[in-house]
Amino acid sequence: MVLYWAHLIPEERKGILQVRAMGSKDMPKRGIFATCSPMRPNPILLSPVRLMRRRGNVLLAKGLEALVGSPIVDVKPYIKDYHCIEEATVPQWVKRLAEETA
């Protein structure tokens, strides 16, 4: 899992407290912490990636959502038995969004 700084978010956007998922007008407005929006008061984002190769301290990963030049804050392992929450649930609007973007 890669934690990175969303360095291109304009300062005035960091105060937004409600957003529509994926910017869709069909989605209800939700509190910023209920979404994965990068418009956050503290724009540290998390991206699960697949580690493809390591050479010394250089990692090649697949699936990183960060923009080129985004500072990497930390890299952590994903441990399935530790990080997976089997009984996790999601709201109906998240299920709908997943269906619409599939």
pTM metric for this prediction? 0.77
Length of the chain: 102
Give the C-alpha separation, 37 to 31, whole Å. 10
Tell me: the pLDDT tens digits for 47-101?
A: 999 999 999 999 999 999 999 999 999 999 999 888 888 888 888 888 888 888 7
Domain boundaries, the chain: 2-101
Kindly state which CATH superfamily the domain 2-101 is placed in: YaeB-like (2.40.30.70)
Q: For residue 72, give the 3-state DSSP assignment.
A: strand
